[in-house]
Amino acid sequence: MWEKILQVWKIKDVRNKILFVLALLVIFRLVAHIPIPGVDLAAMRRILAGNQILGLLNVFSGGTMENFSIVMLGVGPYITASIIFQLLTMIVPKLEEMSKEGESGQQKINMYTRFLTVPLAFLQSYATIKLLNRSAAVLPDLNVARFVIIMLTITAGTMFLMWLGELISEKKVGNGISLLIFAGIVSGLPGAVRNVFINYTSADLYMIVLFVLIAVLTVVGVVFINEGQRNIPVNYAKQVRGNRMYGGNTTHLPLRVNMAGVIPIIFAISLVLFPPMIAQFFTAAKTAWLARVAAGTINLFQNQLFYGLAYFLLVFAFTYFYTAVIFHPQKIAENLQKQGGFIPGIRPGNETQKYLGATMNRINLIGALFLGLIAILPLILQGAMGTQNLVIGGTSLLIVVAVAIETAKQIDAQLTMHAYDVM
């Protein structure tokens, strides 16, 4: 590992790229601590500490929500816009054709994604401020003019982070949006460790050790599942063209255990947040039954058992859904048949398609169960240990480990390219 670090530091181009990315991450953390003027930060942190759903939203905003920062939404609206266009690409023929045009088509889709981020950020800022202000007077004396200015400021903050993310991605040492979320999660680690040592005595040492062991095992599990794959053997038939023979080689088709990544968790969080957020607007309704339904919905989602079960099932279902969106056994079977490839013991065409689909479903079961358990890990630990002070965020660990692995791979690719240039 140290040899790799020294090698990175010696290569000027790679070193400058990494320093540039680190500088942008520092700027992000500085901006994350600039609060909206007039905010009651103490009330804001009390809400996040007592609300599991808003705590999740704080994680995906990169920890910016707890400060009611000018970038409090993080890159959430941009992620939502990206997901929308990713799904539309599978449904709308014109967008599907555009995605197949290569880099030019992808640039157009990225441009549309940026355009959609603006109204999404504006609407999300409105809903978030309303929700927080109803829970506790986070923004006292809020008039219409101030409300609009705050919404515009938060929207501009989201667009600023989106720009920073794209600048980072251009350096090809990691995905910019993922690294921003990564930086937000990691920045909260020193504070969490400090709270552990402040609140816990030597009598509770066994619990701290137990949580550290669970955290280590969780990281190992995340790495194992994230890197796990099933290699399907593929043989290519020999073809004679003139006096030369082509093909006849053997390769493999990798099927990843966690092909969907963290997207199912993001989808699930969006749906889990939606009902109680909408219900907040109707708690003071003049119609009695509507107010009762709104209060009942909020109470239902505050129930840890219902919330955990709903969260797990949504993550499980979305894992299968998103994998079905990005994995097309029919296209893979057609491409193999066109190239003269076949899976040993499986006939080309429909039989190959069925085999790949069935194999992916079995592999996906492990990935879906793992993602679901990772998502509700904090709830499981709270119930088992009877404490809310020491909580291992499985989702946070999943994001941190996945981003670290991807960034390390991209840096390694940069080193490999540099070695080829030198040769």
Short-list 389, 28, 408, CA closest to 180: 28
Please list the rounded mean pLDDT of every run of 10 residues in the chain (423 residues).
72 85 90 81 69 64 73 83 80 81 81 90 83 69 83 91 90 83 78 66 68 79 83 77 63 84 76 75 78 83 81 89 83 83 84 89 89 80 60 68 81 74 55
CATH of domain 14-187: 1.10.3370.10
Provide CATH 1.10.3370.10 ranges for the chain: 14-187, 197-392
Which CATH superfamily hosts domain 197-392?
SecY subunit domain (1.10.3370.10)
**CB 280 within 8 Å of CB 298:** yes
Alpha-carbon distance values, 152 to 99, 119, 149, 177, 369 (Å)? 32, 10, 5, 21, 40
Number of separate helices (H) and strands (E) present in the chain: 18, 5
| Among 411, 399, 413, 394, residue whose Cα is nearest residue 22 | 411
